[in-house]
A and B are shown apart, each in its own frame.
Chain A
C-alpha cells in the first residue's frame, strides 16, 4: 500500500523532529532542510535512512543532495514507492 503525500509529510516530520528536536509542525513542505531547519549533511543522512525504513524505499546517497526542501523529499519518496 502506497503512502499518500500527506502521510509521507507527517512521517517525515516525525523523523525530523526525532533527529533535531524541532516540533513536527515546523517541518513544512516549503522548508529547506539546511537553511530553514538547520540540518547538516550527517543529520540529513540519518533522516533519509530512517525514511527509507519507514516508507520502504531506497534513497541513494547521490540523490540526497538533490533533496533541498521537505517537499523535494516527499515528492522523491512518493515517486520511489511507485517505482
Chain B
C-alpha cells in the first residue's frame, strides 16, 4: 500500500524590511534651456508647470542595465552583502529594449548573483513599489531570503525632442533596494492595482511590430494626456496612499517621510495636501534636478533624503508609485 505524503511548504518568516538602498543618476545635467527650443517653450514655463530645473541623462554608451548595475552594487555594499547572497533579482524597467531575455538575468550574472531567480517587471513608474511588494511577499513567505529590487530607466531613449506632453520631464537613473528578513515589521501591506481603461493616457507612439513593418516610423516614443494624468495622480492616488497608511496601522502624524513617484512637483504637492500630511513630514522633491526617472524615482529620491540627512534610518516613509498602465502601488516602509 502506498503512503500518501503531505507536502512541505516554505517556512514563513515574521517580518521583512529594506536593508539598504543605492542609486545612480545619468552623468549629464540637462538644464531646461537645452531642451526648450524644439518645443517652443521656456525655462520659466517648465519650472512653473513641473518644478523641474534640470534633469539627469545618461551618455550614449550607458544603458538601463548599466545604471541598474551601479545602483545595485551600492545597495549590496551598504547591506554588507554580495551578489551570492541574493535569491531573486527583480528589475523594473520600460527602457531595456529586449523582449527577451530579461535584463534581470543579465544583471544577476553581472552582480555574481547567479543562480538567483531573475525577472523583469513592466509597471512603469509604479515598478519599484510593485517590486517592493513582491520582495516583501517573497521574503515573508520564506520563498527567498534576500531579494534585490531595481528600478532602472534610460528614459532619454524614448524621448521625442519635439513632444510637448512628457519628453521634457524625463531623466535617466536607477535605484536599488535589498529586501531581507527582519526582527521587526519594515514593509507595510502593498496597496496596488491597475486601470487598463486608461491605457492610452500614457502611451507609446507605436509598437515594435508596427516599427518592423514600417521602419520609417522610427523608435517609439512616449506621449501622455498631461491634464488627465495630473488629475488622476493628484486626486485618485491620494486615497490609495491613505489606504496604505491605514493598512500599515499608521496615521499621517506617524509618517516622517513622503516619497511619491517624482512625476511633477505639482502632483507631489497636491498629493501631500490631499493626504493631510503635517508640515513636519519631509516631502521628496528630487524631481527638481533629476527629472522624472520612472521606476527609479522613488529609490533615488529616498537615497538622496538619507544622504542629505533629511531622513534617517528607522524613519517611517510613505511611498507611492503610479504611471502608465495605468498602474499604481503604495506601501509604508521603514527606511534602512
Which residues of A pack against B, CB within 8 Å? 40-42, 44-46, 49, 61, 64
From known contacts A41-B226, A42-B226, infer whether A49 and B231 are also in contact, taking CB-CB under 8 Å: yes
- Total A-B residue pairs with C-beta atoms closer than 8 Å? 27
On whether the beta carbons of A44 and B227 are closer than 8 Å, the reply is yes
**A-B CB proximity, top 4 nearest:** A45-B231, A41-B227, A61-B228, A42-B230
On whether the beta carbons of B231 and A40 are closer than 8 Å, the reply is no
Residue in A40, A45, A46, A64 whose beta carbon sits within 8 Å of that of B49 in the complex: A40
**Chain A residue with minimal CB distance to B45?**
A40
Q: Main SS of the interface on chain A?
A: helix
List chain A residues, Cβ under 8 A from B270. Answer: 46
Q: Complex formed: what's the CA distance from A46 to B271 in Å?
A: 11
Q: Complex formed: what's the CA distance from A45 to B230 in Å?
A: 8
Which residues of B pack against A, CB within 8 Å? 48-49, 225-228, 230-231, 234-235, 266, 270
List chain A residues, Cβ under 8 A from B266. Answer: 42
Q: Output the least CB separation between B222 and chain A (Å).
A: 18
From known contacts A40-B49, A42-B49, A42-B266, infer whether A49 and B235 are also in contact, taking CB-CB under 8 Å: yes
Q: Complex formed: what's the CA distance from A64 to B226 in Å?
A: 13
Q: Complex formed: what's the CA distance from A42 to B225 in Å?
A: 11
List chain A residues, Cβ under 8 A from B231. Answer: 45-46, 49, 61
List chain B residues, Cβ under 8 A from A40. Answer: 48-49
Between A and B, 25 residue pairs with Cβ closer than 8 Å are: A40-B48, A40-B49, A41-B226, A41-B227, A42-B226, A42-B227, A42-B230, A42-B266, A44-B227, A45-B227, A45-B228, A45-B230, A45-B231, A45-B234, A46-B231, A46-B234, A46-B270, A49-B231, A49-B234, A49-B235, A61-B225, A61-B227, A61-B228, A61-B231, A64-B227
**Chain B residue with minimal CB distance to A65?**
B227
List chain A residues, Cβ under 8 A from B234. Answer: 45-46, 49
Q: Complex formed: what's the CA distance from A74 to B259 in Å?
A: 37
Other than the known A41-B227, A41-B230, what 12 A-B pairs have Cβ atoms closer than 8 Å?
A: A40-B48, A40-B49, A42-B49, A42-B226, A42-B230, A44-B227, A45-B227, A46-B234, A46-B270, A49-B234, A61-B225, A61-B228
**Chain A residue with minimal CB distance to B235?**
A49
Q: Complex formed: what's the CA distance from A13 to B225 in Å?
A: 27
Q: Output the least CB separation between A22 and chain B (Å).
A: 16
Q: Output the least CB separation between A58 and chain B (Å).
A: 12
List chain A residues, Cβ under 8 A from B230. Answer: 41-42, 45
List chain B residues, Cβ under 8 A from A45. Answer: 227-228, 230-231, 234
List chain A residues, Cβ under 8 A from B49. Answer: 40, 42
Q: Complex formed: what's the CA distance from A44 to B234 in Å?
A: 13
